Structure 1
């Protein structure tokens, strides 16, 4: 599992996917979220602008990241 050090209060789901280089661009990030390919704390979540905070775990395409 990878970790991502959060600099502010939160990061939006689609921004996190881009920062982790799991997607090539913002449109792809939005598509994988709305298609249900992303899990947030173990559950599929369809919110593109979801505020991911410290302690949350995001999963996509066999990869996991914990926000610290």
Structure 2
């Protein structure tokens, strides 16, 4: 599982997919989310604006990501 550090309280799901470079842009992010290809914390997520917070897990395209706040970099 890849750890992804953010410096805000949350990141929206569509923005996250672009941030980790698994989609080319917002249109592709919207498509993969609405097609049910993305899971958040083990559940299919259809809301592209879903707020992902510290500790959330995202699965897409056989890859898994753990979202952590930047403050946790020292506690890896």
Same fold (TM over 0.5): yes
The answer for unaligned runs of 5 or more in structure 2 is: 69-76
Q: Which residue of 1 aligns with 2:63?
A: 63
**How far apart, in 2, do the equivalents of 1:33 and 1:2 lie?**
20
Q: Which residue of 2 aligns with 1:13?
A: 13
RMSD of aligned alpha carbons = 0.5
User: SS where residue 33 of structure 1 aligns?
Assistant: helix
Q: TM-score, structure 2 length as denominator?
A: 0.87
The answer for unaligned runs of 5 or more in structure 1 is: none
Which structure: greater helix fraction? 2
Matched length:
68
Q: Which consecutive aligned stretches of 4+ in structure 1 deviate over 3 angstroms post-superposition?
A: none
Shift of residue 23 of structure 1?
0.5
**Structure label with greater radius of gyration:** 2
